[in-house]
Amino acid sequence: MIVQATCHGNDNTAILDAIASSPDSCKGIAMVDNTITENELEALDAGGVRGSRFSFARHLAGPPDFNTVHQITQKYAPLGWHAVLYLEAEDIVANAKELVKFPVPVVIDHMARVDVMDGVNQKAFQLLLDLVRNEDFWVKISGAERLSKTLYPFDDIVPFARALIEAAPDRIIWGTDWPHPNIDGQMPNDGDLVDMLALYAPHEETRNLIVVQNPARLYGFET
């Protein structure tokens, strides 16, 4: 799965080109705005796009504009797409009721950027667990290198990932976030991030769900 990076904005040329180089193996998540037309959405869909990403992380953008998200998702709901929300943990608390009103499935990116210092019992993370128990919500357990307050192996992230997996093992997906745009500090080793999967999900069957079966179902791959 190739996800449009925030730094590319709404120009999805690069991911469409990447998908076209291996159409049987790749799908994409685009970024679009509310000027997108039906024909443009259909062209993205034909090019292998299966959803759009909305970035509301404060270091990149302002607070969530869910009215715009509603407008855009209404446009592409007939295509069977989903929405990827990159937001802050505080946005989960402030908008918990609004988040369940979207007309498409929702993927919460990077574990909602929870503050690991506040622990798994913090309100934002407990609300995230409640959301992912809803069949219309998914969570991507990525971004350990961004969220952790320690160096690799980012042990402080493990309890959060495990709790999410326990809450909804069939709606958890994973990614390395390569090539790690807009990251502060040391660039992570992607092999190390892959190895963390065994810490998140010690059982092989669960790992198979996370990296094979769940994304195949979400993105429309044949298994």
How far from 3 is each of 8, 14, 57, CA to CA, in Å?
A: 11, 10, 16
* Active-site entry in 17, 91, 156, 177: 177
Tokens of 5: 């990076």
Decide: 20 and 26 in contact? Cβ < 8 Å. no
DSSP structural state of residue 202? -
In angstroms, rounded to a whole number, what is the distance separating the alpha carbons of residues 7 and 219? 23
Nearest to 69, CA basis, from 54, 49, 56, 87: 54
Residue 175 sits at φ, ψ, to 5 deg, of -160, 160
In angstroms, rounded to a whole number, what is the distance separating the alpha carbons of residues 198 and 202? 5
In angstroms, rounded to a whole number, what is the distance separating the alpha carbons of residues 135 and 201? 21
Residue 87 sits at φ, ψ, to 5 deg, of -135, 180
Question: 112 burial class (0-12, 13-18, 19+ CB within 10 angstroms)?
Answer: buried
Nearest to 215, CA basis, from 6, 51, 16: 51
Residue 177, phi-psi category: left (phi > 0), alpha (psi -120 to 50), beta (remainder): left
45 included as an active-site residue? no
Active site residues: 177
